[in-house]
Amino acid sequence: MKYLVLAITLTVFTGSYFVLKTMYEGGNSKGAERIVITLN
């Protein structure tokens, strides 16, 4: 159970990191489009 929570937390953390990274690299409009793609 403890490992499951750790894995979920790690996945959310890395996911949000990549979203922020793409926002910085691609500008605001492209970043927003990539966020929508990532969430879907």
Residue ranges covered by each domain of the chain: 1-40
Given this model, what pLDDT does residue 21 score? 77
Judge contact between 2 and 25, C-beta under 8 A.
Answer: no
**What pLDDT, on the 0 to 100 scale, is given for residue 28?**
57
Task: Answer whether 0.85 is exceeded by the pTM.
Answer: no
Instruction: In whole angstroms, give the CA distance from residue 28 to residue 13.
Output: 21
What count of Cα atoms within 13 Å lies in the side-chain half-sphere of residue 37? 10
What confidence tens digit (pLDDT) does each residue in 1-40 have? 789 998 989 888 888 888 777 767 666 555 566 666 666 5
